[in-house]
Structures are given as structure tokens and as C-alpha cells.
């Protein structure tokens, strides 16, 4: 599928203007028209050359960008210094939005700002208004590509095929994850115009947008967007993602999620606050049990599939929220480093799925999460039998 990005559109626009000027000059029979046409053709040749070079910009720029962050991360490892690590983390600034307070209109308005390209991984999309918005963007020549999970939990393949067909009628590329070698494509990450990104806990469904406790982190960050774009292209083509493709503080399962998560739990000094749909991993449970007596540990979970491990913890450590339904996947370390993403705290998510998350120390995002966590911590119920809601 041909991708018409910003450079290609600018080239086409200039090309048509050039044709108009040449035709106008010839029609008016301006003196020295041959010289003018020659100059215009020379400019045209230069632009064609520049455009061809631009087509290779992704591969030529990416290694240099990657080498910078690899060098900086290596420098941090060699120094063992917190200063370099903090400097890198502080680069990841952004807006953290909470649902259901951040309405579906706010979410769709964010996507509607796209002008050229919208690439995204998404587990599930059933919200018709989102589908309509993407069709409208595609009709305005925005290139849209989605890597989907064609076997969502309790969702038939036939529904995926029908949705893919409706979108493809508007030249929106939809491909499934069968070639990735993962169990599920459970990621919820978007790259807009190669500059802006959104990493979310939420699907594009009515429940996710209007009912659940969800979090979305978004901003314009060239290196994060570049890294996500690179990984998207590789997943699209079925190529292996390498460690140098992953920008520091991005979490990409099954590559670095478990290591980073366990490292954060072990290195926490004062507090750990977790708000998650569920915890289904023995190693994580064991780590949390070890930490509950030497720091301030609080775990806030939903009412689905959490009964097997809750009884192992002190009663003041774990609280279960009945409403709103907790679909979050967040962890805050020492009230300064926040993880948000699509990955549940489960073995399947960390070791088998395609999941994408991010770590930020942006204090605006941290404070937003802390305020919401405290509110949800105070409004809770304790139960031992739960009904299933949306995954």
C-alpha cells in the first residue's frame, strides 16, 4: 500500500504549481521564456532529487537517533548515576487523561487532529463513532493503518472481518497479528503524523470510553514517535523488533516489560502504588509479598479474577473496587515514576503478548494519577465473588 505522507503531498502540490507556471509562461509568450522554463525545470529536478532522498529518511535517520539514545543509556549504565537516568525520564512529558471523566468526544477529537498518517496497534474497536471518524479522515487523504487482534476475548473472527471490510472500503489498511508470533496483539498505541503519540489502557469501545477507569498518555515527542513508528513498520512487515528500536522508557512486550517491571518493584525505596485490572503472575505476586513490609505498598484492583492471591496480603494492602470497572494497568514508584500501558500484570501479557507501555516522571502526569488513585482508594468494596465484565 502506497503511503502518501507530508513530503509526498508537498511534492505533488509543488509539481502541479510548477506545471501551471510553465503553462502560464508559455501561453503569455513572455520574453526569455526558455530561460524561465529552464530554471523551473532545474528547480523541479532538485526537488525530485530531494524527494527521493526523503523517501529514505526513515532508514537513514533512525540509526543516528537510536545511536544517541543507546549511547546515553550506555553512559547511564557505566556511571550508575541517577542523574542521567532522571534526565532521560524527564524527557517523556505528556498529558495523562482519565476516563470516564475524559469523554469519548475528547478522545476522538485528539485523533481527528491527524493530517497525514495515523498508525496504531489496537486490540478491540467496536465504537461506531470511532469507525466513522477514521473513515472521514481517510476520505480526506489521511493514510490510516491498523494492526489488530483478530481473536479478541469472546469476540468472533467474523466481526473482525466485517469491520476490516468496512474500513478497507475507505482505503484503511487493517491487518491482523497472526504473523507476529505473539499470543495476542493487546497493545493500544497510536502514532499520528509521525510526531504525536498516544499510549492507552483503553480499547476503542463504548465501555472503555464511557464506563471504565482508563488512562491515556499522549504528547508530541519526536524520539518516542520515531521509535513507535519504527516498531509499527516492523510489526506490519513481520520483522523482528530489536532492542535498539525501543526508545528508553518505552515498554514493549514480550521484550522488556517483565525485566523493567520487576526491576522497578525491587528498586522501589519508599512506595509502590498499583492500579490494575488484575494480577495473574506468580513472580510478581512473590515480589510484592516481599515488599509489603518494608515500604508503603497499595494495590487497587478490579473485581475480576483476583481472589486467588488477595488473601496472601495484609488487609490494608489490597483494595477491590466494584465501580467503576478497573481496566487500568498502572504502577507508580516512589511517587515519582509512573508506568502506564496496555499490559496487565499477568504472565500472558508480559511474556506472550504484544503490549506497549511507557514510563514517565512528568510530575503533572504523576499528580494526575495520584489524585485519581487516592479517590478510588477511598471508594471501595471488599468481595470474594465477582462477575465478569469487559476484558
H-run or E-run covering 319: strand 318-320
> Contact, 109 vs 269, CB < 8 A?
no
> Contact, 355 vs 251, CB < 8 A?
yes
Q: Note if the pTM is more than 0.75.
A: yes
14-23, 166-175, 194-203, 242-251: range with lowest mean pLDDT: 14-23
Tell me the range of 50-64, 103-117, 151-165, 285-299 where mean pLDDT is highest: 285-299
Residue 1 is predicted with a pLDDT of: 37
Would the pLDDT of 313 be above 50?
yes
Provide the 10 A C-beta neighbour count for residue 160. 19
Nearest to 37 by CA among 52, 22, 58: 22
Beta bridge partners of 358: 250, 340
Residue 101 is predicted with a pLDDT of: 75
Alpha-carbon span 342 to 348, nearest angstrom: 12
Alpha-carbon span 329 to 72, nearest angstrom: 28
Would the pLDDT of 363 be above 60?
yes
pLDDT digits 0-9 by tens, 87-111: 444 467 889 999 887 666 777 888 8
Would the pLDDT of 382 be above 60?
no
Classified as helix, coil or strand, 171 is coil
Which 8-state DSSP code applies to residue 240? P
- Domain over 250-378 is classified CATH 3.30.870.10: yes
Range 80-89 contact pairs with CB under 8 angstroms and sequence separation of 24 or more:
86/361, 88/248, 88/249, 89/249, 89/337, 89/359, 89/360, 89/361
Cell of 308: 486467588
CA distances from 79 to 73, 75, 76, 266, 323 (A): 10, 6, 5, 20, 46
| Residue 315 banded pLDDT, cuts 50, 70, 90 | confident
Query: With the C-alpha atoms ordered 89, 225, 343, 109, is the resulting torsion angle positive or negative?
Result: positive
Mean of the per-residue pLDDT values for the chain? 81
Would the pLDDT of 222 be above 70?
yes
Which position has the higher pLDDT, 20 or 136? 136
Alpha-carbon span 198 to 31, nearest angstrom: 55
Residue 183 is predicted with a pLDDT of: 93
* Average pLDDT value for residue range 311-315: 87
| Residue 58 banded pLDDT, cuts 50, 70, 90 | very low
**β-pairing verdict for 117-122 and 188-192:** antiparallel
Q: Which of the four CATH numbers 3.40.50.150, 3.50.30.30, 3.40.50.300, 3.30.870.10 does domain 59-245 have?
A: 3.30.870.10
87-91, 168-172, 186-190, 323-327: range with lowest mean pLDDT: 87-91
* Average pLDDT value for residue range 230-257: 95
Residue 46 is predicted with a pLDDT of: 62
Which position has the higher pLDDT, 369 or 68? 369
- What is the CB-side half-sphere exposure of residue 15 using CA atoms within 13 A? 10
Residue 308 is predicted with a pLDDT of: 76
Residue 48 is predicted with a pLDDT of: 61
> Contact, 242 vs 162, CB < 8 A?
no
Amino acid at each position: 500500500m502506497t503511503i502518501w505522507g507530508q513530503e509526498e503531498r508537498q511534492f505533488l502540490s509543488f509539481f502541479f504549481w510548477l506545471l501551471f507556471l510553465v503553462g502560464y509562461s508559455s501561453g503569455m509568450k513572455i520574453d526569455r521564456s526558455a530561460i524561465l522554463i529552464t530554471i523551473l525545470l532545474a528547480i523541479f529536478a532538485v526537488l525530485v532529487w530531494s524527494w527521493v532522498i526523503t523517501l529514505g529518511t526513515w532508514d537513514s535517520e533512525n540509526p543516528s537517533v537510536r545511536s544517541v539514545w543507546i549511547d546515553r543509556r550506555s553512559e547511564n549504565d557505566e556511571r550508575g548515576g541517577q542523574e542521567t537516568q532522571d534526565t532521560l525520564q524527564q524527557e517523556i512529558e505528556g498529558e495523562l487523561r482519565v476516563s470516564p471523566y475524559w469523554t469519548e468526544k475528547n478522545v476522538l477529537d485528539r485523533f481527528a487532529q491527524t493530517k497525514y498518517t495515523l498508525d496504531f496497534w489496537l486490540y478491540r474497536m467496536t465504537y461506531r463513532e470511532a469507525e466513522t471518524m477514521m473513515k472521514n479522515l481517510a476520505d480526506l487523504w489521511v493514510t490510516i493503518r491498523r494492526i489488530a487482534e483478530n481473536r479478541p476475548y469472546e469476540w468472533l473472527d467474523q466481526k473482525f472481518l466485517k469491520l476490516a471490510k468496512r474500513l478497507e472500503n475507505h482505503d484503511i489498511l487493517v491487518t491482523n497479528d497472526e504473523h507476529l508470533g505473539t499470543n495476542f496483539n493487546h497493545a493500544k498505541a497510536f502514532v499520528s503524523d509521525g510526531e504525536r503519540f498516544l499510549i492507552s489502557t483503553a480499547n476503542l469501545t463504548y465501555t472503555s470510553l464511557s464506563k471504565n477507569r482508563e488512562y491515556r498518555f499522549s504528547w508530541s515527542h519526536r524520539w518516542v514517535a520515531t521509535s513507535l513508528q519504527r516498531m509499527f513498520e516492523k510489526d506490519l512487515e513481520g520483522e523482528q523488533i530489536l532492542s535498539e528500536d525501543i526508545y528508553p522508557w518505552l515498554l514493549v512486550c514480550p521484550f522488556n516489560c517483565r525485566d523493567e517491571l520487576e526491576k522497578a518493584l525491587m528498586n522501589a525505596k519508599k512506595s509502590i502504588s498499583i492500579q490494575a485490572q488484575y494480577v495473574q503472575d506468580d513472580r510478581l505476586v512473590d515480589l510484592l509479598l516481599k515488599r509489603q513490609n518494608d515500604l508503603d505498598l497499595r494495590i487497587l484492583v478490579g473485581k475480576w479474577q483476583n481472589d486467588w492471591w488477595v488473601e496472601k496480603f495484609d488487609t490494608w494492602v489490597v483494595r477491590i473496587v466494584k465501580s467503576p470497572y478497573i481496566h487500568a494497568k498502572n504502577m507508580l514508584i516512589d511517587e515519582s515514576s509512573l508506568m502506564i500501558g496496555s499490559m496487565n500484570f499477568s504472565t500472558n501479557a508480559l511474556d506472550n503478548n504484544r503490549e506497549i507501555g511507557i514510563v514517565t516522571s512528568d510530575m503533572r502526569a504523576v499528580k494526575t494519577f495520584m489524585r485519581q488513585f487516592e479517590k478510588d482508594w477511598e471508594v471501595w468494596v471488599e468481595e470474594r465473588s465477582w462477575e465478569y465484565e469487559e476484558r
